[in-house]
Every structure is written in structure tokens, then in C-alpha cells.
Amino acid sequence: MTTIKDSVVLVTGGSRGLGKALVEELYERGAAKVYATARDPRAVTHPDAVPLALEVTDPASVAAVAARTPDVTVLINNAGISLGAHSLLDAPLDDVRREFETNFYGPLLVTRALVSVIERNGGGHLLNVHSVLSWLGIAGSYSATKAALWSQTNSLRLELRPRGIEVTGLHVGYIDTDMTSGIDAPKSDARDVAALALDGVEAGAHEVLADDLTRSVKAGLSGDLAALYPQLAL
């Protein structure tokens, strides 16, 4: 079982939104050190966090961060992008590729670089930030990247368990952050989601479903597709 108190955590995308909330919540729970990454580390504002420059799609950048964080016991893959490539038929293919590079290959690169570090430190935890769109194909390539990340997380859970590393996937709908500022829909508070996510880590949960929408969609996966996609019933 993972305990946040006295742990050493690396949070990708730790300068704003959910990542910033996770950094704050980690320190509230007594983490010994939190590395917060961003493309521009000057964007990391928490006074106690250790800011690090990271581009998750660049293997050299990932390797440099891994070399500077030899004490990590918990990795949180939070960094991600949405370019609005909602049509798989019409969106620029470069946008589709960029979303996959960041949302799927990015977490994989960081995980591969940090697994041996966490293992040397006696084991620990991996938290991957997914989305309710892991299970709803309504956002084009973004949905596809999150579905792929969900599958990646499930596979890593099986691979890492024998190495003393537990894995949790966080699924959530809209969070009240800069990314969703233009969306008129119910949104969760980032600190509430961060607290639920870390509750799940400390409880050893395989998945955290952070809101009613996410719980409803997950439950609906066993039913007819028309229940999730009403347009199919027309």
C-alpha cells in the first residue's frame, strides 16, 4: 500500500490545472518532495515544489529528468493536450499524431524512464490521468488517445505489480481548469479531483472514477452501444 506522507513524487504537467492541484494536495498530505514538471519550469508556482523542464515527447528531455530524480517513489502522468481534432476524417493528421505523441507515448516514455528508479527505491506507485473520454468516442483523436492510455495503464498494471509498483488510473469528466474555460458544462473542482485521486493511490485502487458522469459511462460499457450514443438509436 502506498502512503503519500514522506513519499517523493514526480508530477508531469505540474504547473497548472489538475497538475497544480495535485502538487498542492501532495504537500498537504506530507509528501517529502514533489518534482513538478512543465515545458517552462518557471510556470511552477508552488514554493516547495522542485520545478523541472520536461517535454514528454522528447526522449532526451525525459532521460534528463529521470537522471535528476533518483529518489522518486510515485509517478503521476498528468501532462496532456487537446488540439480539438474532433473529426478523425477531417482533422489535420499532424494534430492527431501530436495528440498521440503527448497523451499516449509521452506517459509511456516517462514511465519507462522512472520504473527502474521507483523499483530501486523499494517500489511505489504509478498514477495515470485518463478521462471519461477513454470510454466515449465523441472527441475524435483525443478520445482515441485516452482509450489507448487506458489500455496502456491496464497492461502496465500487470507488468509492474511483480516489481512492487502499484498502478491507478484516474477517470474524470470536465475539470474547472484553463483547458475547459470555454466549455459550458458541469465541472469538478481540481482540488476535489486531486484529493480523490490520491485517496485512490493510498487505498491501492485500480481505478478512480471521480464524478457521476464517469461512473455512469463506465457502468454503461456493459450495455448496448445505443445507450452511450443515442444517435445510433435513431
pLDDT (tens digit, 9 = 90+) per residue, 17-45?
Answer: 999 999 999 999 999 999 999 999 999 99
| Annotated catalytic residue 174 | no
Residue 154, pLDDT score? 98
The tens digit of pLDDT for each residue in 92-135 reads 999 999 999 999 999 999 999 999 999 999 999 999 999 999 99
Average pLDDT of span 35-58:
97
Residue 186 clears pLDDT 90, i.e. is over it: no
Q: Can you give the C-alpha Rg of the chain in angstroms? A: 17
pTM: 0.95
Of the pLDDT bands very low, low, confident and very high (cuts 50, 70, 90), residue 182 is low
Per-residue confidence (pLDDT) for residue 181, from 0 to 100: 56
Q: From the candidates 27, 35, 142, 229, give the one annotated as an active-site residue.
A: 142
Task: Compute the CA torsion angle 91, 106, 13, 127 (nearest 10 deg).
Answer: 120
> pLDDT value at position 177?
67
